[in-house]
Structure 1
Amino acid sequence: MAHSTRATQFLKSQGVEFALREYDYDPAADRIGLAAAEAIGVEPHRVLKTLMLILDGKPVCAVLASDREVSMKKLAAALKGKSAAMMKPEEAERLTGYHVGGISPFGQKKRVPVVLDAAALNETRVFLNGGQRGLQVEMVPGDIVRILNAVTADIAA
């Protein structure tokens, strides 16, 4: 597995301290984030999933614990929008340059607004996709806010 992805290159360029964790990606898993948490042996609320959405016709990124669901109303309110919906997988892949199951909020082809669920800030370290299936980056959640200029809000349903 390649350890150098656009996501890890972006993190390095921002001077972020992170550790890599590999796991056997299961394409048949119903919930990829939960499968990743089990595979690397950490609590599901520490493994954050990256969701690509459309807010008032524009792309946005939401990052929240893998054991939670996003509230479209809360997400829209956090970014001062009206209506949010999940992006189609093909569109998410084209926009980010990553494959579904490997989408990272870091190093996407096109930078979009990011909302981090505020609950993530309660953790000392969290895990996010490292830019390819089966690769997680472990890092301090405050760094996510800093390097992505992310909005923090309660966006969980």
Structure 2
Amino acid sequence: MAIEKVRAYFEQFGIADRIKEFHESSATVELAAHALNTEPCRIAKTLSFMLGDKAILIVTAGDAKNDNHKYKSFFGAKAKMLKPEEVDDLIGHGIGGVCPFGINDGVTVYLDESLKRFK
């Protein structure tokens, strides 16, 4: 289960106690914002892509939209999101639980510039 992988990852750094779990779903930006009583833009959204033959993650602000032109300009390839049935095997977390922690080896994580406004 994704939460157990994340907990084990955070335990390495002594911060597992910072994990927040909710009785209600937080699987989407809107649900997570509601659960945390905050604005959707303040939720970090993790998107899964294939870049060549490797899976990558891009973490953006919750209100950020994927810009295919910027993606292609940065990565030199067209954006190709993972299919729902590929996510768990390639990333290590299932749809609705993807985060950049406790992921499979070899998955590179990129932080989008949309996060800079929340320093």
Instruction: Report the CA distance between 1:121 and its aligned residue.
Output: 2.7
Report the counterpart of residue 140 of structure 1 in structure 2: none
- The structure richer in strand per residue is 1
Report the counterpart of residue 112 of structure 1 in structure 2: 107
Instruction: Report the CA distance between 1:108 and its aligned residue.
Output: 0.9
Helix, strand or coil for the counterpart of 2:9?
Answer: helix
Helix, strand or coil for the counterpart of 2:80?
Answer: strand
Moved more, 42-51 or 103-112: 103-112
Distance, in Å, in 2 between the alignment partners of 1:118 and 1:111 is 22
Q: Quick check: 1:84 aligned with 2:83?
A: no
Contact 1:50 1:104 in 2 (8 A): yes
RMSD (Å), alpha carbons: 2.5
Report the TM-score when normalising by structure 2.
0.80
In percent, how many aligned pairs have the same letter? 30
Aligned residues: 117
Distance, in Å, in 2 between the alignment partners of 1:95 and 1:122 is 30
Distance, in Å, in 1 between the alignment partners of 2:52 and 2:46 is 19
- The structure richer in helix per residue is 2
Distance, in Å, in 2 between the alignment partners of 1:50 and 1:106 is 10
**TM alignment of 1:7-156, pairs within 5 A:** 7-14=6-13, 19-23=18-22, 24-25=24-25, 32-78=28-74, 80-124=75-119
Give the aligned residue type for 1:60: I
Structure 2 residues without counterparts, runs of 5 or longer: none
Distance, in Å, in 2 between the alignment partners of 1:7 and 1:17 is 8
